[in-house]
Structure 1
Amino acid sequence: MDSSPTFVIVGGGLAGAQAAQSLRDSEFTGRIILIGDEPRLPYERPPLSKGILRGDDPDESADALPADFYTSHEIELMTGTEVTEIDTDARVVHAGGNAIPFDRLLVATGSTSRHLPLPGADLAGIHYLRTFEDMTELRSALKSSSSVAIVGAGWIGSEVAASARQLGLDVTIIDMAATPLEAVVGRQIGEVFADLHREHGVTLTMNANVKGFVGSDNGRVVGIETADGRVDADVVVVGIGASPRTELAESAGLEISATTHGITVDTSLQTSVPGIYAAGDVASVTRPDIGIDLRVEHWATALTQGQAAGRNMLGAGEAYMNVPFFFSDQYDLGLEYCGYPVPWDRVVVRGDTGSREFIAFWLSGSRVTAAMNVNVWDVNETLQALIASGRSVDDSRLADSDVPLESL
């Protein structure tokens, strides 16, 4: 293959892997160097809280691409390698003691778990789940434990709770909200998930304020102190969100969004420095259609932005205007969610929340801003099209199962 030009991808996650594949699919014949700071092949994160954590699926099932893809497509992998500097003037990346020139650069450095800076936070047995190494340590801990307390009832906390119950552990979820997932779906739909977890034996400690972690004499966590009492546990998992890893971008002088704290990119995913792009958790897309900077920490965004970034690095000029999408599996409940994180004024439900077979619509005025299908399948593309259209919809038609979704 031609040794020039050179495209460098910083970040060994799904977005970076998809960008590399997209470049080769677009018949780019130059050099591709993919640099990741973790010592394994690029991987997807959703399985880390589900099948792989439980031991139901092999570790390799998380791989973003087959292991032989990189060699067969002449993609140079530098795993376990830290990028220490991006020199935008010299067009050079410093990594692993080497100065690597680039013609185009993609920053896909992802996110890092937010930590709780509370008393006892450094005790052994407190886990965060972001990386494959995190998962491996948590999986091992769960195998030798009987109880787990989870701080945070968001998607990660809820999925880990479901997996831990399926492994037979006693599980307690602790959160400041009244219901799981309330910040995302609101209290009405949050009650569906509260009932789901209670039916599977999870103890919900809601409206709770965590004050610190309780340790034993040997320095291991044995519980969590809340304002109302103590929750005992062998293992603690903290899932309170993530923060974008923008340190490299900031030191390189790339513009950072004041609202999302991600790397500001236009709809082509190009940063404030020409020829440098960003994708995945770290990218904050300026979206004139909805009037906000949009940064999304979900699998589908890493996948599709990585692909779009690869094409745009080659000059495709493709506008990334996708409706965000993600999925979750908890026990026998499967769901797909799509939409924008903007304020809503009401929720309309089609179907039966009691049987957990329904579609929920979040509306602002007469416009659907988000939707979620729960144990109802083959409808999400239609829901995304409805949200993207921005058209006015009558509540009664949304709620009526006899009205075809395609007609809305």
Structure 2
Amino acid sequence: MSEPNPVVVVGASLAGLRAVEGVRRAGFKGELVLVGAEEQLPYNRPPLSKDLLTGIIEHDPLELCTAEHLAGLGVTLRLGTPATGLDLDAREIVLDGARLPFGSLLITTGSRPAALPHGGAPPQGVHLLRTVDDALALRDDLLRARDVVVVGAGFVGAEVASSAAKLGARVTVVEAAPAPLTRALGPTIGEVCGRLHELHGVTLRCGTGVAQLEGTPAVTAVRLTDGTRLSADVVVVGIGVRPDTGWLEGSGLDLRDGVVCDETLNAGHPRVWAAGDVASWTNPVYGRRMRLQSWTAAAEQALVAGRNAVAGTPTPCPVVPYFWSDQYGKRLAALGVPGAADEPHVVGDLHGLRFLSLHPDGDRIGMVFALDRPDLIMKFRRLVMTRAPFGDAVELAERLVA
């Protein structure tokens, strides 16, 4: 199974690594190229906001594979080479002026963190977190910081706050929503998770945003929209991410909240596929389009997309979203997608922050969330995957936590 032009994977991330592995598992024997904007081999991003910041681990253990592993797969590496454009008619990727032809293309460029609006470059000490270099620069600043302001109480913001507090800084978390994690977990469980910050000496300010960053050349304070002024040596912005599709503008691909794909992860062109944070695909489990931002979803999608890119008959890619977060010594984990109504059924010790919450989607189980009970979450996988009746999930939870 080969073709004159190479299979090219753009994005040397977890998804990029799994994509090249999927291509080879499908039996493709031709040329396979992995293009990445960073100089590093594919590495693990979740520790960037946790163990790398606190110094528990260093850079090298983050690597997901060795150069020898990729050589064994027959992968040609083009690292430190960002893609800047895509010419579908010519079937070529533009690489900073050069052009790379492809037979099939897999897009795995992930996402980029959103920045605060600011006239010109932000002051020194203001950080976004995406790459290992970002994390190392932030760690250097955190080791000297007294006052840290984290903007955004999502999972990444909460993990950075936890890490900064562990390093001894005074930490304030600013969140525009009424409670942390409301988009992912709903306000009821979000408010409970907010107690984690407060129990560990971190100040949580919800229902307000950033009006202005003060200080030149380095940040000295953050002024909030409610008029409050917070002293700050370091500011970390964690207000969400955007799919990394800028290099695809004008290519003809549908780029509505990522690369729009069908249920097989095909991007609307017979030789183009996408996977990971950059892909907005029709998830056959739910029958609707979604873009997932989790480690497990990226890995599952990329293996399927890699196989489909070289297989004769592509197959759908069903994914039950699973994500986890480590904060203040506790593991938070969720499986599935919640429904519109915020009506969780809680089993366990809600006030002691050790519980399961079951979130309905109509009369079906939508999502299971576990705080400090990571041992139980995967016992619900079959029920969530099959969209089982909500009562079945409640019965299982009551039995497990009894």
Q: TM-score range by the shorter chain?
A: over 0.9
The aligned counterpart of 2:283 is 287
Alpha-carbon shift at residue 263 of structure 1 (Å): 0.8
Contact persistence 2:284–2:316 (CA under 8 A): no
The aligned counterpart of 2:231 is 232
Alpha-carbon shift at residue 27 of structure 1 (Å): 3.2
- Residue 243 in structure 1 maps to residue 255 in structure 2: no
Query: What whole-Å deviation, never above 9, does each CA across 1:289-343 have from its counterpart, x for those lacking one?
Result: 5342110111111111111111111215221111111111112211221212652
Match among 218, 221, 244 for residue 219 of structure 2:
221
Distance of 2:100 and 2:26 partners within structure 1 = 23
- Detail structure 1 runs of 4+ shifted over 6 Å in the superposition: none
Contact persistence 1:179–1:190 (CA under 8 A): yes
Query: What whole-Å deviation, never above 9, does each CA across 1:341-399 have from its counterpart, x for those lacking one?
Result: 6523411111112222211111132111111122223433332321221222228x717
Which letter does structure 1 place at the counterpart of 2:39? P
Contact persistence 2:339–2:360 (CA under 8 A): no
Contact persistence 1:342–1:369 (CA under 8 A): yes
The sequence identity of aligned pairs, in percent, is 36
Question: After superposition, where does 1:9-88 map in structure 2 within 5 Å?
Answer: 9-88=9-88
Match among 281, 301, 307 for residue 303 of structure 2:
307
How many residue pairs are counted as aligned between the two chains?
399
Distance of 2:351 and 2:324 partners within structure 1 = 20
Q: Which moved more, 1:51-60 or 1:313-322?
A: 313-322
Q: Which moved more, 1:127-136 or 1:175-184?
A: 175-184
- Counterpart secondary structure, 1:346: coil
- Counterpart secondary structure, 2:315: coil
Alpha-carbon shift at residue 2 of structure 1 (Å): 7.4
The aligned counterpart of 2:265 is 269
Contact persistence 2:86–2:251 (CA under 8 A): yes
Distance of 2:169 and 2:322 partners within structure 1 = 31
Which letter does structure 2 place at the counterpart of 1:358? F
Match among 371, 388, 391 for residue 394 of structure 1:
391
Distance of 1:121 and 1:330 partners within structure 2 = 31
What is the CA RMSD across the aligned residues, in angstroms?
A: 2.2
Which letter does structure 1 place at the counterpart of 2:346? V
1:91/1:119 CA distance change after superposition, 3 Å: closer
Alpha-carbon shift at residue 118 of structure 1 (Å): 4.1
- Counterpart secondary structure, 1:130: coil
Distance of 2:388 and 2:168 partners within structure 1 = 47
- Counterpart secondary structure, 1:76: strand
Scaled by the length of structure 1, the TM-score of the pair is: 0.92
Contact persistence 1:120–1:212 (CA under 8 A): no
Q: Which moved more, 1:323-332 or 1:202-211?
A: 202-211
Contact persistence 1:281–1:296 (CA under 8 A): yes
Contact persistence 1:345–1:365 (CA under 8 A): no
- Residue 171 in structure 1 maps to residue 171 in structure 2: yes
Which letter does structure 2 place at the counterpart of 1:110? G
Distance of 1:58 and 1:149 partners within structure 2 = 24
Alpha-carbon shift at residue 86 of structure 1 (Å): 1.6
Distance of 1:364 and 1:121 partners within structure 2 = 44
Match among 332, 341, 344 for residue 341 of structure 2:
344
- Counterpart secondary structure, 2:137: helix
Scaled by the length of structure 2, the TM-score of the pair is: 0.93
Contact persistence 1:153–1:239 (CA under 8 A): yes
Distance of 1:311 and 1:381 partners within structure 2 = 26
The aligned counterpart of 1:114 is 114
Distance of 2:163 and 2:147 partners within structure 1 = 12
Distance of 2:135 and 2:112 partners within structure 1 = 14
Contact persistence 1:350–1:400 (CA under 8 A): no
Distance of 1:359 and 1:313 partners within structure 2 = 39
Distance of 1:393 and 1:205 partners within structure 2 = 34
Contact persistence 2:331–2:374 (CA under 8 A): no
Distance of 2:242 and 2:286 partners within structure 1 = 23
1:127/1:156 CA distance change after superposition, 3 Å: same
Distance of 2:310 and 2:25 partners within structure 1 = 11
Distance of 1:53 and 1:318 partners within structure 2 = 40
Q: Which moved more, 1:64-73 or 1:294-303?
A: 64-73
Alpha-carbon shift at residue 24 of structure 1 (Å): 2.4
Query: What whole-Å deviation, never above 9, does each CA across 1:138-167 have from its counterpart, x for those lacking one?
Result: 111111212211011111110000011111
Alpha-carbon shift at residue 179 of structure 1 (Å): 2.2
- Residue 374 in structure 1 maps to residue 371 in structure 2: yes
Contact persistence 2:2–2:28 (CA under 8 A): no
1:4/1:342 CA distance change after superposition, 3 Å: farther
Match among 320, 324, 329 for residue 326 of structure 2:
329
1:153/1:387 CA distance change after superposition, 3 Å: same
Alpha-carbon shift at residue 121 of structure 1 (Å): 6.3
Contact persistence 1:121–1:213 (CA under 8 A): no
Distance of 2:284 and 2:182 partners within structure 1 = 28
Alpha-carbon shift at residue 120 of structure 1 (Å): 8.1
- Counterpart secondary structure, 1:105: strand
- Counterpart secondary structure, 2:57: coil
The aligned counterpart of 1:361 is 358
Distance of 2:65 and 2:284 partners within structure 1 = 33
